[in-house]
Chain A
């Protein structure tokens, strides 16, 4: 299949395309900001939008492995780091809005929020857990950690996504449509992953069985 393996050149172009695409939400905000399009409460709009795109990009990043298993394509994995880093990028913008505009570096207020506001209690650590993944995203770090440990560390992405969805769920006043959609998508991704883990386990056992069948 032509889609299974892309040439390096095609992949390079694809990377550039995805890079630009991932900047579109930020571009939209910038354009809206200059054309009076952010509405009466621009701060809320920016915070909501960057939060939404953090979650969206996080889920896209998490769908790469299931996509590879379903399709047999190898190349999506080559886009995963960039997508994950973009999720982190939007999370940083989202957090900065809270830190600077909402709280204006009121550390005491922030600590209080983390302790008292359940949606911040889950949202803040979900953001912090992205840090070790972002730091260890370079080739050098992968080598230094070793593939296995690196993969284990990067399973944190699932915790981040769960934290992010719960964070969204708990802050919405009444209309849960968006948080429910994110939760469903995340469960599908989880389901697929569990399915493949189970399938691999069965395969391994069967291989082990056939290995000992000669007794």
Chain B
């Protein structure tokens, strides 16, 4: 049976791999450059890098969760309830211009522009564990400074017992808000001493860049010894109050999500165990640490408190 035999290509004709790859890269650079030339300078000059000085005191010696996982596996119901929804839908969030109103029981209530706020103190890089109430966890290099720096500036009055964080409420930018899965705007809160604790981080970035939208851009808090939902994202208002604020998750499930929500392996969620967690990227579950491993730093905040009753 006659079979078509292609003529052999002489070795001299074969493009060396190095050249072949370089050509591809050259084409990519050329395409990128010509595209960039068409855009106004403000766009291609847009720099989303954010530098921070490493704070070794707040750097857990654990392997970082890859950037890809940190930015593609998120709970941010403003953009949908699926883990991959925020990464898909958060492009519609406009993070500039952005202001944060600080009000309530403070001597100096103010509206801060984001850029002013970011220059209030030196940006640090801190590597924190993040433990979700759903029993998974990550290790994330955040960029920001202690929330205490801001709190000192506005001078809380003697009546300021709690701090409430209110996130952006705009269904046109946050499609998840078109459903009433949670009470919008998203509200979270801390006791004033928790908010003043140096670990509580006012956060602007991660992995050396500004916060990606799906991670709570442009400004959020990170409270590493509490379950992830306590760390409010895309904050527009910070209110100092005498009364304990009612948070969105407390409204959603009063028996399941308490005001404190400290990571605690001995106090289970109403429906599942909190004794173990799956670190993203690991196969088997690992033991959950008391206060997410920050017991030394924060246990004193809760001396004499019944942590089961105050879950």
Binary CB contact string for chain B from 79 to 120 against chain A (1 if under 8 A, 0 otherwise): 001011000000000000000000000000000000000000
Smallest CB separation, A23 vs chain B (Å): 24
Report A-chain residues with C-beta under 8 Å of the C-beta of B133: 173
Report A-chain residues with C-beta under 8 Å of the C-beta of B271: 117-119, 170-171
Smallest CB separation, B185 vs chain A (Å): 16
Contact at B284–A117, with CB atoms within 8 Å? no
Assess whether B73 is interfacial by the CB under 8 Å rule. Answer: yes
- Are A102 and B285 CB-contacts (below 8 A) given A41-B83, A118-B271? yes
Contact at A104–B272, with CB atoms within 8 Å? no
Smallest CB separation, A33 vs chain B (Å): 13
A175 is contacted by which of B68, B81, B278 (Cβ under 8 Å)? Answer: B81
User: Measured between alpha carbons, how far is A112 from B276 in the docked complex, in Å?
Assistant: 14
B280 is contacted by which of A40, A101, A174 (Cβ under 8 Å)? Answer: A40
Report A-chain residues with C-beta under 8 Å of the C-beta of B68: 40
Contact at B253–A174, with CB atoms within 8 Å? yes
Assess whether B173 is interfacial by the CB under 8 Å rule. Answer: no
Contact at A174–B77, with CB atoms within 8 Å? yes
Report A-chain residues with C-beta under 8 Å of the C-beta of B272: 117, 119, 171
User: Measured between alpha carbons, how far is A113 from B273 in the docked complex, in Å?
Assistant: 8
Contact at B134–A40, with CB atoms within 8 Å? no
Assess whether A17 is interfacial by the CB under 8 Å rule. Answer: no
Assess whether B294 is interfacial by the CB under 8 Å rule. Answer: no
Determine the interface band of chain A, counting residues with CB < 8 A from chain B.
10 to 19
Smallest CB separation, B273 vs chain A (Å): 7
User: Measured between alpha carbons, how far is A175 from B84 in the docked complex, in Å?
Assistant: 15
- Are A40 and B73 CB-contacts (below 8 A) given A174-B253, A175-B81, A175-B181? yes
A101 is contacted by which of B136, B182, B284 (Cβ under 8 Å)? Answer: B284
Contact at B182–A174, with CB atoms within 8 Å? yes
Assess whether A128 is interfacial by the CB under 8 Å rule. Answer: no
User: Measured between alpha carbons, how far is A112 from B284 in the docked complex, in Å?
Assistant: 18
Report B-chain residues with C-beta under 8 Å of the C-beta of A39: 72-73, 83-84
Assess whether B30 is interfacial by the CB under 8 Å rule. Answer: no
Assess whether B4 is interfacial by the CB under 8 Å rule. Answer: no
User: Measured between alpha carbons, how far is A116 from B273 in the docked complex, in Å?
Assistant: 9
B181 is contacted by which of A170, A171, A174 (Cβ under 8 Å)? Answer: A174
Assess whether A200 is interfacial by the CB under 8 Å rule. Answer: no
Determine the interface band of chain B, counting residues with CB < 8 A from chain A.
20 to 34
- Are A41 and B278 CB-contacts (below 8 A) given A113-B273, A117-B273, A173-B134? yes
Contact at A41–B136, with CB atoms within 8 Å? yes
B283 is contacted by which of A44, A101, A118, A173 (Cβ under 8 Å)? Answer: A101
Assess whether A43 is interfacial by the CB under 8 Å rule. Answer: yes
Q: Considering only CB atoms, which chain A residue lies closest to B65 in the complex?
A: A40
Report B-chain residues with C-beta under 8 Å of the C-beta of A117: 271-273
Assess whether B29 is interfacial by the CB under 8 Å rule. Answer: no
Assess whether B122 is interfacial by the CB under 8 Å rule. Answer: no
User: Measured between alpha carbons, how far is A204 from B129 in the docked complex, in Å?
Assistant: 68
User: Measured between alpha carbons, how far is A35 from B259 in the docked complex, in Å?
Assistant: 41
Assess whether B121 is interfacial by the CB under 8 Å rule. Answer: no
Report B-chain residues with C-beta under 8 Å of the C-beta of A104: 284-285
Smallest CB separation, A112 vs chain B (Å): 8
Report A-chain residues with C-beta under 8 Å of the C-beta of B81: 174-175
Smallest CB separation, B11 vs chain A (Å): 34
Smallest CB separation, B81 vs chain A (Å): 4
A44 is contacted by which of B136, B252, B284 (Cβ under 8 Å)? Answer: B136
Contact at A43–B283, with CB atoms within 8 Å? yes
Smallest CB separation, A46 vs chain B (Å): 12
Binary CB contact string for chain A from 154 to 174 against chain B (1 if under 8 A, 0 otherwise): 000000000000000011011
Smallest CB separation, A123 vs chain B (Å): 12
Assess whether B295 is interfacial by the CB under 8 Å rule. Answer: no
Assess whether B69 is interfacial by the CB under 8 Å rule. Answer: yes
User: Measured between alpha carbons, how far is A170 from B271 in the docked complex, in Å?
Assistant: 8
User: Measured between alpha carbons, how far is A104 from B286 in the docked complex, in Å?
Assistant: 12
Report A-chain residues with C-beta under 8 Å of the C-beta of B77: 174-175
Report A-chain residues with C-beta under 8 Å of the C-beta of B283: 43, 101
Report A-chain residues with C-beta under 8 Å of the C-beta of B285: 102, 104
Smallest CB separation, B74 vs chain A (Å): 9
Q: Considering only CB atoms, which chain B residue lies closest to A103 in the complex?
A: B285
- A interface list, Cβ under 8 A from B: 39-41, 43-44, 101-102, 104, 112-113, 116-119, 170-171, 173-175
A-B contact pairs, 30 of them (CB 8 A): A39-B72, A40-B65, A40-B68, A40-B69, A40-B73, A40-B280, A40-B281, A41-B83, A41-B278, A41-B280, A43-B278, A44-B136, A44-B278, A101-B283, A101-B284, A102-B285, A104-B284, A112-B273, A116-B268, A116-B273, A117-B273, A119-B271, A170-B271, A171-B271, A171-B272, A173-B134, A174-B81, A174-B182, A174-B252, A175-B81
Closest 8 CB pairs of A and B: A40-B73, A40-B69, A175-B81, A40-B280, A175-B181, A104-B284, A174-B181, A174-B252
